């Protein structure tokens, strides 16, 4: 059984999808050990409370530098005996010192088919707007390992969707998010079995 810590900055719907996959028995090799939020009071923290899971906010601006921020993250995931770190809409860049402590076990989900539409500033509906503006016919989501770049780590899995003619950013975002909710628990379960 591998213990997963989820890092989130918003609603926590991917966090919820992982929790649902665990409770339904779809991911028998996973358990959740807690949630780290990039700011207090976000919906993801409310979800964690409803699931009776530990949730803490670790705010980067509260620390003097990246090293201190990384130490606080390291201490928390260490306290939880974390095996896998899953970024789920976590909009804060992790310090290199922290990433170096967890080679091959920090993963992220991104709402496009990387390497397209990834990198600094590409998150949330900005990604889907860019996909539609570029006239793409397919899109999807990507689970990848986290390295020191933005969305540049090794790709572990992708799920592809056809873009519907006349589809809006909001409609596309909803369909891609549904695909994320299916893909992310599957990939985490695969990691846990390795």
Residues marked active site are found at 110
Under a CB-based contact definition with an 8 Å cutoff, are residues 74 and 57 in contact?
A: no
The residues near 87 (Cβ < 8 Å, ≥ 6 apart) are 6, 7, 8, 94, 106, 107, 108, 109, 146
Under a CB-based contact definition with an 8 Å cutoff, are residues 25 and 102 in contact?
A: no
- DSSP count for the chain of H helices, then E strands: 6, 7
For residue 3, give the H/E element and its range.
strand 2-8
Residue 74 structure tokens: 């390291």
DSSP 35-77: EEESSTT-HHHHHHHHTT--EEE--GGGSSSHHHHHHHHHHHH
């Amino acid at each position: 059984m591998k213990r997963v810590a989820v890092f989130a900055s918003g609603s926590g719907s991917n966090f919820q999808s992982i929790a649902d996959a665990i409770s339904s028995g779809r991911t028998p090799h996973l358990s959740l050990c807690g949630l780290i939020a990039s700011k207090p009071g976000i919906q993801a923290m409310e979800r964690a409370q409803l699931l009776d899971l530990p949730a803490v906010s670790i705010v980067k601006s509260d620390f003097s530098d990246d090293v201190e921020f990384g130490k606080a993250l390291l201490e928390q995931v260490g306290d939880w005996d974390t095996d896998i770190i899953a970024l789920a809409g976590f909009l804060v860049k992790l310090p290199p010192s922290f990433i170096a402590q967890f080679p091959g076990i920090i993963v992220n989900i991104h709402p496009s088919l990387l390497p397209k539409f990834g990198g600094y500033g590409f998150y949330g509906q900005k990604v889907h707007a860019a996909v539609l503006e570029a006239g793409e016919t397919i899109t999807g989501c990507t689970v990848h390992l986290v390295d020191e770049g933005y969305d540049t780590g090794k790709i572990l899995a992708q799920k592809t969707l056809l873009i519907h003619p006349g589809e809006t950013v909001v409609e596309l975002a909803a369909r891609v998010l549904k695909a994320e909710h299916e893909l992310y628990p599957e990939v985490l379960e695969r990691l846990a079995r390795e």
